[in-house]
Amino acid sequence: MKNIPTNVLMEYERVKDTLDQHNHRYYVLDDPSIPDSEYDRQMRQLQDLEQQYPALISDDSPSQRVGGKALDAFTQVRHAVAMLSLENAFSDTELDDFDRRLKDRLNFAALKDLSEIEFACEPKLDGVAVSLLYENGHLIRGATRGDGSVGEDITANVRTINSIPLKLRGDNTPKLLEVRGEIYLPRPGFDALNAKAMAAGEKTFVNPRNAAAGSLRQLDSKVTASRPLEMCAYSVGQFEAEVTPDSHTHMLEALGDWGFKINEHLQAVKGVEACKDYYRAMAERRDTLTYDIDGIVYKVNDLGLQQRLGFVAKAPRWAIARKFPAQEEMTQLLDVEFQVGRTGAITPVARLEPVFVGGVTVRNATLHNGDEIRRLGVCVGDTVIIRRAGDVIPKIAKVVLEKRPVDARAIVFPDRCPVCQSSVQRAEGEAVARCSGGLFCGAQIKEAIKHFASRKAMDIDGLGDKLVELLVDAGAIYSVADLYELTPDKIAGLERMADKSASNLVAAINVSKETTLAKFLYALGIREVGEATAQTLANNFGTIESVTKADAEQLLEVDDIGPVVAKHIVNFFNNPDNLSIIDALRDAGVSWSDIDQNAQPSQPLKGQTWVLTGGLEIMSRAEAKDRLQELGAKVAGSVSAKTSRVVAGPGAGSKLAKAESLDIPVMTEEEFVAFLARGQ
């Protein structure tokens, strides 16, 4: 260690010890305390120190092994062919450097028959790497990667996974075949697993990969069998057969023929620029997938070129992983505020030290309710792991307890509304606590008016959130009915409300008086009654009088209305204050056409779910939605396996991609208009 400064030695030992601790927590305890992005940063710091001072490198350095030690509870397995890790690229520049290194080592300029290197591109599944050994077509062993040389025998557990063949399909199967792949837990299964754990008061998993790792390390294979794990093959280790495929993609096609699941997004491309295009395309599709991916793996497709390129100590030279922006990050919880919603629901909102995660800067995260605060055991001042996937609201996934400061303080859920000081109540069987102040509560009044005026409800042009708050704070309105009593004189003096703006707002309010029964019902803000349910109520009852008089038994006879929604509807219309507001609105001129129950149009799309995406040009999205609902269809905002059809206008993105991946029928807008014209 001569010529290495003391401060460098101390820093190196600190980083090395920290990484060892994180490896132990992740691989041995199944209890990670930091997100992957933080681990990657610390590993890079260690590698930079070792590159600058090679004498530091020792056999026990985390950089010199792929993963953690095998658990003592399982029989150890020594891999005949080491399971290596991959180098990472975090930018286009680093990918260009990788391509340049390949060409230099291959003396690419001399390969006259190649204009660019062909790469196999695959999503990098966020799961657990495994090795499956087959002899004469039969599965004889399954093992984890472990430290790359020695793993854990998990044969009994992998046999419970339906996507792993116990016997290879076909006649021309290899005499010896070792398949490498990723075992992972799809998001729906992960959500269900955590929901079940929460209901039982048990510990939940931080993310799907953590859940998959824990599932594979169960000593009782019945537990593993109860979890919806999947396995996707991505390479081979040992291989003995009469014919060997000449490329990586051909090898995976052969694995598919033998019964293995191969990722549907596998693609061979020419050149590094095409690799970048693939990365961008998959980044857009990432949030539509039913499983987590954390990047893209690029491999030189030609197996002969792979052999020429060879390996460095712990990674192949012919492959690299391009990482996506982290979906988990660490930050500090600065404070918690309690917000009151339209229905009185009190929601704790975490105020965070700003952190860049999932492609955006996050300052706030939801804590959902008091139960979630207790489950997490979170305190103000804690360091927390924030998770954000796509457009999902950021959430606190875990508390890093070892970083808790001495002055951390408990989060106390209020027993009085923070706005009106009314008592906070929690109904039996509900997780959400609510302010009991009703329309006495200023926050509920404001939120109710905002909802009433929104585009999908009464659609009052120009009445935005800030103006609603100004009107309520100034005492100009106290309920939705008061909107129709406004005059230009009453509001012209408000901030940013000149005479013309005031006149325009009053005119827009008057225009909104003519509506439909469905929109009016939705605008009332009844708990759990969205657009589709409001339309269903209008179609089934025809008049507001029939809806207000319906009892729970009558409501339960209507499709899509269950006991909870029926209870909310009955409670709403049993409240005399709500009925008086409806009367006041009708007296003010709000009107609609009743629906003749004896002349109901046919609903050929009843029971179907449609999705609209992209920019519709021939008709507005609202008009298209109304037409579909008239035909009986439910119009959803996201694509799932239950979607019946998707209408895709120009600029359609992730929803169209997901529909195509699920083989859901897709219509252009022109086809949709023709479909409506035929009266289908």
Q: Which long-range contacts (CB under 8 A, 24 or more apart) does 391-396 make?
A: 391/287, 393/365, 393/366, 394/357, 394/358, 394/362, 394/364, 394/365, 394/366, 395/365, 395/366, 395/368, 396/333, 396/350, 396/365, 396/367
Backbone angles phi, psi at 338, to 5 degrees: -110, 115
Query: What pLDDT, on a 0 to 100 scale, did the predictor assign at position 598?
Result: 61
What's domain 328-425's architecture? Answer: Beta Barrel (2.40)
Q: Is the CB of residue 27 less than 8 Å from the CB of residue 68?
A: yes
Plot region of 310 (φ>0 → left; ψ -120 to 50 → alpha; else → beta): left
pTM score, whole prediction: 0.58
Q: Is the CB of residue 348 less than 8 Å from the CB of residue 413?
A: yes
Instruction: Provide Rg for the chain, Cα atoms.
Output: 30
Angle subtended by helix axes 531-541 and 621-630, to nearest 10: 40
CA 244 to chain centre: 40
The structure tokens listed for 140 are: 């004889």
Return the exposure string of 206-240: e unless at least 16 CB atoms fall within 10 Å of the residue's CB, then b: bbbbbbbbbbbbbeeeeebbebebbbbbbbbbbbe
DSSP 338: E
Return the exposure string of 450-463: e unless at least 16 CB atoms fall within 10 Å of the residue's CB, then b: bbbbbeebbbbeeb
Query: What pLDDT, on a 0 to 100 scale, did the predictor assign at position 67?
Result: 45
Q: Is the CB of residue 624 less than 8 Å from the CB of residue 648?
A: no
pLDDT one-digit tens code per residue, 90-133 = 889 999 999 999 988 888 766 666 778 999 999 999 899 999 99
Return the exposure string of 242-263: e unless at least 16 CB atoms fall within 10 Å of the residue's CB, then b: eeebebbbebbebbeebbbbbb
Which of 83, 94, 149 lies closest to 316 in space, CA to CA? 83
Query: What pLDDT, on a 0 to 100 scale, did the predictor assign at position 128?
Result: 92
Any idea what the Cα angle at residue 335 is, between residues 333 and 340, rounded to 5°?
Answer: 125
Torsion sign across C-alpha atoms 201, 203, 209, 212: negative
pLDDT one-digit tens code per residue, 276-318 = 999 999 988 888 888 989 899 999 999 999 999 998 777 899 9
Plot region of 677 (φ>0 → left; ψ -120 to 50 → alpha; else → beta): alpha
403 is catalytic: no
Q: Which CATH class is domain 458-598?
A: mainly alpha
CATH code for the domain defined by 87-323? 3.30.470.30
Tokens 């290197």 belong to residue = 117
Residue 38 half-sphere exposure toward CB, CA atoms < 13 A? 19
Separation CA 182–CA 151 (nearest Å): 14
Cβ-based neighbours of 496, under 8 Å, separated by 6 or more: none
The structure tokens listed for 508 are: 């827009």
Separation CA 227–CA 248 (nearest Å): 31
Boundaries of every domain in the chain: 6-64, 87-323, 328-425, 458-598, 601-677
Beta strands 293-300 and 118-125: pairing type? antiparallel
Beta strands 634-636 and 609-613: pairing type? parallel
Kindly tell me the burial class for residue 281, based on how many C-beta atoms sit within 10 Å of its own C-beta (0-12, 13-18, 19 or more): middle
* 3 state DSSP class of 123: strand
Selecting among 2, 16, 69, 124, the annotated active-site residue is 124
Tokens 């204050």 belong to residue = 577
What is the CATH T-level fold of the domain 6-64, as seen in this structure? Helix Hairpins (1.10.287)
What is the CATH T-level fold of the domain 601-677, as seen in this structure? Rossmann fold (3.40.50)
Backbone angles phi, psi at 427, to 5 degrees: -70, 150
Cβ-based neighbours of 185, under 8 Å, separated by 6 or more: 127, 193, 208, 209, 211, 212, 215, 227, 228, 229, 230, 291
3-state secondary structure 144-199: ECCCCCEEEECHHHHCCCCCCCCECCCCCCCCEEEEEEEEECCHHHHHHHHHHHHH
Query: For the chain, which ranges sit under pLDDT 70?
Result: 1-2, 24, 27-30, 59-60, 64-73, 109-113, 359, 389-392, 439, 597-602, 679-680
Kindly tell me the burial class for residue 64, based on how many C-beta atoms sit within 10 Å of its own C-beta (0-12, 13-18, 19 or more): middle
Q: Which helix (H) or strand (E) holds 280?
A: helix 272-285
* 3 state DSSP class of 286: helix
Beta bridge partners of 133: 141, 178
| DSSP for 132-147, written as a single string | EEEETTEEEEEEE-TT
Q: Is the CB of residue 102 less than 8 Å from the CB of residue 337?
A: no
Distances (CA, A) of 671 to 406, 453, 456, 635, 680: 64, 33, 25, 17, 12
Separation CA 80–CA 77 (nearest Å): 9
Query: What pLDDT, on a 0 to 100 scale, did the predictor assign at position 597?
Result: 61
CA 564 to chain centre: 27
Tokens 């909310």 belong to residue = 568
Query: What pLDDT, on a 0 to 100 scale, did the predictor assign at position 115?
Result: 77
